[in-house]
A and B are shown apart, each in its own frame.
Chain A
């Protein structure tokens, strides 16, 4: 039975956000018998309620509250009030996500050491190593049912994958397969296997794809130690005179302000909302926001170097059938500065339905050059580029000076300038992607600009030294012992891989740490 805790219960751990980080941490703590309240800004939609329709699903699940943008990134021009495509719903962005689940490479935890000094980048090594992460990666993969691990077969390749694979073979790429996906390739964990419906981004109506919504959260609730409170938007974290956090003020479903007392607070609202909340929790004791003695809260915002390549063939492909991210090429993920940039990138198949293809293929463009591309929609194949981008201090989340949301909380501004390394990598990836499809006979290819950010990272980063970052190697804030960060905003650097497996891994590891500290009574 799901628990229900009193607002004045100051023994609970309050987690803000129920996505990859928050949902996992909540369940892990509940399994250990620790009482948890998850405050989730969005509503609760179960997976039967998901909609196989891009815009309707977007309306149902996406975070649509206004944000502003600045900087030279193209998203600021094309989608000035939609810097990120992420979710406001129980389950967070794990409802929308595609499921690609890759471990980081060893050198990516040591970005500063490996890449050396990169002008205009604020690189830092992680305070953890791959070796320390490995046992937890294994736990995460087992929890999420990642294909290609634990003897679970990989998914069968769909049409879009077959085109990718044929091109990869032609270019001589060696590591190309249907990926490591947190999607059931066989029935397991009381959930279906993938039925190749092709609406992974709209929430998996079969429950085949891992999402905290129907795995971690109900499992945690079944212990009687977890309460998920939907439609509860955290606005401010309170603290006492000693500087310890004591509770979270949130707007409830009727917009009324409540305070949930807490023994520990863990912030997991994704990398725009988490720093927004910390910054908005400023007080006379912490005039620059909570956990911000380093001044790094909100800085080093990363979004991965992304872009897509779509290609048209003279024969049909029907790329939208089957898993959205149906395969990967990993050969370019290595660090090889001879290509003209540091770090690497992955190439992963991607498909959009007709409505989103129209909106994202080349935002703002019109006329026959654009429409003849869509005319051949069913002859299209596509891939997405995801590579390591450089952390920069000026790429940051700030509180808007004038504009406030319905609860009176300043909205977030997202500033991003592409680093020259990002541009060099993107251009390299575009030409590789275009060459790949040309090799299979594409008659036309499209280097498609980045979508609003689906991977948002780094704005409360981990650091060895308190002056370099916001949290330590366990996601515990350097400044306040009972305040944690549990989402992708902890990332010290971005790595080439999709982030969620690492977010889940860190959350499992953090749960062990929190439990140990609680029993030792240090927090």
Chain B
């Protein structure tokens, strides 16, 4: 019966993850908390679900909204009390965004972050343009419309575009 119990747990975990894929970041509504790599722990017990999460940028004003969004979504779906805690042990970094998340950013015309291992301060000067893919671009400002974005200009197609910043 041990195998069955394990299997049950796996199924439950997948269901919770699916539900979390429907909780979006209010600042970038195409990305879910799973895409962003904000979930650091899922604990499924018989009488409650515990979620641990981390904010992206430390002053991100959306954290409380997201926290509430997770609780509401899971409680609706599973009819069981849900506790969402901020995990102090782990710091978010931009490598936590999944490949799927990066692809969604590209579709949304926001240039995704590069892998941090390849990232140097200077590399902000040649971010690929999400409209025409040209690297002939320059940094207009390290601060965009939200804390996680920087502002760039493409010399080839003349677009002003945003980039999800690398954060180590």
- Decide whether A and B assemble into one complex: no
